[in-house]
């Protein structure tokens, strides 16, 4: 069952702490994944989505907490984060430059 938290809600920070604790150090199995959903429409509206079912969820909270606008918590199945555009560089910066 999905739990939804929006920045400003009274349980928002508590939910982030719980999610960070739950996913801290969780490497996941061979089906584990993290992904960015970045489309131009969302960018124009000021956000992107990030999903993870492993330790990347905890890392995102640790590194970019102030940019998290909304959380959709699917329990052990993973978490979707709606992230403010200001906290997002670009998808292409995920890859190293080869020269």
- For residue 30, pLDDT beyond 90: no
Domain segments of the chain as ranges: 3-94
Given pLDDT bands bounded at 50, 70 and 90, which one contains residue 29?
confident
Per-residue pLDDT, 59: 97
- Which ranges constitute the DSSP H helices of 39-98? 40-45, 55-64
Q: What is the pTM of this model?
A: 0.92
Contact 21, 14 (CB under 8 A): no
Mean pLDDT of the chain: 95
- For residue 27, pLDDT beyond 90: no
Mind listing the pLDDT tens digit for each residue in 57-92?
A: 999 999 999 999 999 999 989 999 999 999 999 999
Per-residue pLDDT, 16: 98
Distance CA 48, CA 18 (A): 22
């Amino acid at each position: 069952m999905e739990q939804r938290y929006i920045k400003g809600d009274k349980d928002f920070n508590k939910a982030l702490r719980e999610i960070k604790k739950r996913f801290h150090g969780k490497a996941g199995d061979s089906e584990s994944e993290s992904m960015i959903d970045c489309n131009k429409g969302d960018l124009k509206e000021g956000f992107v989505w990030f999903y993870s079912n492993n330790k990347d969820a905890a890392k995102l909270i640790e590194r970019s907490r102030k940019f998290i606008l909304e959380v959709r918590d699917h329990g052990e199945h993973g978490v979707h984060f709606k992230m403010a555009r200001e906290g997002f560089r670009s998808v292409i910066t995920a890859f190293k430059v080869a020269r």
